[in-house]
């Protein structure tokens, strides 16, 4: 994976990580707090992407998945994941993993 940013961001702190959540449904709201405690400066809203997904083994399903950062602060952020299926029976995910990245604003 490569990351590029403008020279004006050189020397600023970067935070990144991965989180996996197990669920028996179609929705997860997850609070992530910074391990080192609250930060002295606000970070930019984290970029987040799905890196793993485990769901029930069903044939002929059209599964949609979405994740987003809902709120970000000096103490951490909250992310949300939702799944849905189209034209088939309900297909909830059993676990979802995300990778996130942010840096000082």
Other Cβ atoms closer than 10 A to 98 = 23
Q: Taking Cα atoms as reference points, which of 1, 12, 31, 34 lies closest to residue 103?
A: 12
Query: Checking DSSP bridges between strand 93-103 and strand 47-55, what pairing results, if any?
Result: antiparallel
CA torsion sign for 92, 66, 33, 4 is positive
Quote the pLDDT of residue 73.
84
Domain 22-103: state its class: mainly beta
Quote the pLDDT of residue 3.
65
pLDDT per residue rounded down to tens, the chain (105 residues): 566 666 776 677 778 888 888 875 666 778 888 777 777 777 778 889 999 888 776 666 677 788 899 888 888 888 888 877 766 556 667 888 899 888 776
Write down the domain spans for the chain. Answer: 22-103
Query: Checking DSSP bridges between strand 62-73 and strand 47-55, what pairing results, if any?
Result: unpaired
Quote the pLDDT of residue 25.
62
């Amino acid at each position: 994976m490569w990351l590029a940013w403008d020279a004006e961001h050189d020397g600023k702190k970067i935070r990144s990580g991965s989180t996996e959540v197990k669920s028996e449904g179609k929705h997860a709201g997850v609070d992530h707090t910074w391990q080192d405690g609250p930060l002295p400066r606000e970070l930019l809203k984290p970029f987040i992407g799905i890196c793993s997904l485990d769901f029930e083994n069903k044939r002929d399903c059209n599964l949609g998945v979405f994740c987003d950062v809902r709120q970000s602060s000096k103490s951490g952020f909250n992310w949300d994941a939702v799944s849905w299926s189209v034209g088939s029976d309900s297909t909830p995910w059993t676990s979802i993993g995300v990778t996130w990245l942010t840096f000082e604003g």
